[in-house]
Structure 1
Amino acid sequence: MSTVRTIRASTEPFAWRPGDPDEQLDIVRSYRLNRVREQLRLQGCPAILLYDPVNIRYATDSSNMQIWTGRNPTRYILVFADGPVVAFEFHNCEHVWRGIDCVSEIRGATCWNYFNAGPESARRAAQWADEIVDLLRREGTELCVAADRLDPEGVYALQKLGVRIVDGQALIEQARCVKSPEEIAVMQRAIDVCERGIARMHDALVPGITEQELWAHLHFENIRYGGEWIETRLLSSGERTNPWMQECSSKVLEAGELLAFDTDLVGPYGYCADISRTWTVGHVKPSDEQRRLYATAHEQLHFNLDLVRAGMSFREFSQRSWKIPARYARNRYSCVAHGIGLVDEYPSIAHYSDWEGGGYDGLFQVGMALCIESYIGDEDGREGVKLEQQVLLTESGCVPLSTFPFERSWL
């Protein structure tokens, strides 16, 4: 007999929360572009060259074949701190910029990656670099540009023309880390869609289906309501829940075993919903061991959630975070918490035991959206529990953005 409340994934059209995100997009676009330009000015850099499709989306709200262009550098933008935004678009795709007013000029992209250019890669990279330098000179700036990512041929071509290249990914991560109220409202729509998918998975969780079949329900709801992609396939059951980080497979679900997942879902408007929950297959009463694992993960998650405060350093948070018992330490999650926006973002807070090799300091700020993480699995155990909560950091602490219920009857 089920020990949890019944959650039904409605087939009715979505009843969205008050405040249609469509009406706030112009405010969000302006805010995000201004954040990029503020960082350029702070760093004394005249312009930033963006290839990463998520960074292009952040600065302009333009998207085009996000997964494909993430592998194939075939569209890019140049954003000036005190000048225009110039877009360089893939072949015959200028129409994707309709309705986006921040762009002053749209040009065809010069593609010099090997797939597009073959043995002509170096020559086309030189042609590409000439165009970038001409724009810098047209705007009367020094020959300096930030770049989020460039293959070697592009670096060589710009440097040959005397261009100084600085780290653009650090700059834009700093820009992205603080959200406006309107941005949070848009993010909330992605979370709402994600939680609708979680509810659908909850209802479909019966013995005899495969992990992949269950995972497909999350994709269905995301695509159905205008979502975009899911970055991982982190859903596992039974012995595959320990250690964590095993993606879904053709394994058939068995009654009573644990089922855990991490959504990593890029939903409507390109915003990420990163939520983890753990259930029993068939929603049957958990065993004493399953209950112990779940209660421990729940304690870790909520202790750390209550600890975060604006103005606290990352190091202090890590040092004061919930102490993982030795039996679970080896299988700990990769971080205590991380930022969230269009995707996982700065910061990533290391466990204090990992601080010397993997930690870095900084300050939590009001307006950061964060994901607080927990994974509990005994080093020699059979199963593990994954929980994660998406929150907004305010003056008074963390406010949940993800509201899908925990299994409180297990505690």
Structure 2
Amino acid sequence: MDTISAYTTSNRKIDPSRRPRSKPDGSPDDNNRVEIGPTALAFEAWAKAGLEAPNLEAMRQYRLQRIVGELRKHDYAGLLCFDPLNIRYVTDTTNMQLWVTHNPSRACFVSADGYVVLWDYANCEHLSAHLPIVREVRTGASFFYFVSGDRVGEHAARFAGEIDDLLKSHGGGNRRLAIDRIEPEGLLALRSLGIETFQGQVVSELARAIKGPDDIKALKCAVHSCEIAMHEMQRQLRAGMSENDLWSILHAENIRHGGEWIETRILASGPRTNPWFQECGPRIIQEGDIVAFDTDLIGVYGMCCDISRTWLCGDGEPTPEQKRVYRHAHEQVHSNLALLRPGMGFREFTEKANLAPQEFRHNRYGVLAHGVGLCDEYPSLYFPEDYPATGYDG
């Protein structure tokens, strides 16, 4: 019998008809894959908790249709996004998310017929190659002073010309363009070409406000991973550690599970808890201290977990005042939660909400409630005393 060479095709080890392995969310089970996402630790924890991972392809298609629906409702030819979270919503791509919040190097355009173009950072086309929802990847959306210097106007005009061409190709004669945010030179360049510009946050916020089934699954999974991180914080909380020591645990556990970043650093202890919004620092936590924090965490799938908790350091009995204040807070949260129902107006909620005793109102939070998704989102529901200046109905 002839020996088969190790180099002949008959020794093939991979069946070309076999489908690649996938993770529970439908993404490739490839150790060397490009895209980020949940770690094995997260998937294992969700399975143990009986949580179902989202179908990422279904989630992406749903989000695109939400944007397209709002564009058609407002009779816009397209939406131009520079906000990295709107880019994430439209394309499900990421690239240096925090850096591009202050260096607008990425953009995307989605037409009313669902054609998506992504402008990414130079030589980063490979980061979105796995996403069929992105029809084109380009570069050249940067026209801020750091990268363009005294050529800002020139670069903005070049980019505006590309948008003009896309509107001609996909707008059907419609020149109405929604924009979420843009450098001033870019806006001027677009308008100089006869493009009508409109507030694009109306499109993106209203689209993002209604979550699809897989958005909700992604949120539940993200919250579960965040809760694991919070449990680890509580387990390690002890007198003698600094606020920063405790806060670092939340960061570490978020990253371990495949989360992305934390938007704030609102953790305080003892007398620093009031007034609120003091950022965590080097203060050493004492036995019997109240420790309070707001996660403001962008977790797995880019989903925001905006969860507040208040703990007591140590095993001692809370003081009567600590119990009294906590009781008021608990009652306010749960009564307002019970008040919410589909179809309720924003102003109606303001008028009916539990507002807590007057003694606490001077230090009230900025809102009674707000939406959440990829970050804190529309709507914002305000206290009665703030409604005349800042409130809106819906």
Equivalent AA in structure 1 for residue 276 of structure 2: W
Relative to its length, the structure with more strand (as a share) is 1
CA distance in 1, matches of 2:61, 2:187: 30
What is the deviation of 1:196?
0.7
Structure 1 residue corresponding to 2:271, chosen from 217, 236, 239: 239
Distance 1:67 1:179 in 2: 24
Alignment of 1:170-189 (within 5 A): 170-189=202-221
Which residue of structure 2 aligns with residue 165 of structure 1?
Answer: 197
Which consecutive residues of structure 1, in runs of 5 or more, have no partner in the other structure?
Answer: 1-10, 363-411
CA distance in 1, matches of 2:355, 2:210: 28
Give the superposition deviation at 1:83: 4.3
1:54 partner amino acid: L
Q: Are the counterparts in 2 of residues 49 and 146 from structure 1 also a CA contact under 8 Å?
A: yes
The one-letter code of the counterpart of 1:221 is: E
Bigger drift between 246-255 and 11-20 goes to 11-20
Residue 384 of structure 2 corresponds to which residue in structure 1? 352
Once the two structures are TM-superposed, the CA of residue 19 in structure 1 deviates from its matched residue by: 5.4
RMSD: 1.4
**Shift in Å, 1:28:** 0.6
Gaps of 5+ in 2: 1-40
Structure 1: which 4+ aligned runs deviate by more than 3 Å? 11-14, 17-20
Q: If the length of structure 1 is used for normalisation, what is the TM-score? A: 0.83
In 2, the alpha carbon distance for the partners of 1:177 and 1:344 equals 10
> Counterpart of 2:353?
321
- Supply the AA of the counterpart residue of 2:80: L
Select the residue among 237, 262, 275 that pairs with 2:294.
Answer: 262
- The counterpart of 2:105, out of the listed 62, 68, 74, is 74
Alignment-derived partner of residue 395 in structure 1: none
2:252 matched residue in structure 1: 220
The residue number in structure 2 matching 1:204 is: 236
The alpha carbon displacement at 1:12 in A equals: 10
Kindly tell me the number of residue pairs found equivalent between the two proteins.
Answer: 351
Structure of larger gyration radius = 2
Matched, 1:192 2:219: no
Worse-superposed segment, 42-51 or 130-139: 130-139
8 Å contact kept, 1:40–1:48: yes
* Structure 2 match to 1:16: 46
Amino acid at match of 2:60: R
Query: Displacement of 1:256 after TM fit?
Result: 0.1
Correspondence for 1:113: 144
Q: How does 1:86-97 map to 2 (within 5 A)?
A: 86-97=117-128
Partner of 1:156: 188
Determine helix, strand or coil for the equivalent of 2:79. strand
Q: Is the 8 A contact 2:65 2:114 kept in 1?
A: no
Instruction: Give the conservation status (yes or no) of the 8 Å contact 1:76–1:109.
Output: no
Q: After TM superposition, give the deviation of residue 105 of structure 1 in Å.
A: 1.1
Once residues 126 and 343 of structure 2 are traced to their aligned partners in structure 1, the CA distance between those partners, rounded to angstroms, is 44
CA distance in 2, matches of 1:160, 1:286: 65
**Paired residues of 2:51 and 2:220 also in contact (CA < 8 A):** no
Deviation (angstroms), 1:20: 4.5
Q: Which deviates further from its counterpart, 329-338 or 316-325?
A: 316-325
**Identity among equivalent pairs (%):** 46
Specify the code of the residue in structure 2 equivalent to 1:360: Y
Query: How has the CA–CA distance of structure 1 residues 220 and 324 changed in structure 2, closer, same or farther, with 3 Å as cutoff?
Result: same
Instruction: Tell me, yes or no, if the aligned pair for 1:256 and 1:281 is still in contact at 8 Å.
Output: yes
Residue 308 of structure 1 corresponds to 340
- Provide TM-score, normalisation by structure 2: 0.87
Structure 2 CA distance, aligned partners of 1:253 and 1:73? 39
Match in the other structure for 1:39: 70
* One of 361, 365, 369 as aligned partner of 1:333: 365
Q: Distance in 2 between the 1:252 and 1:224 partners?
A: 26
1:330 counterpart SS class: helix
The change in CA–CA distance for 1:14 and 1:206 in structure 2 (over 3 A counts) is farther
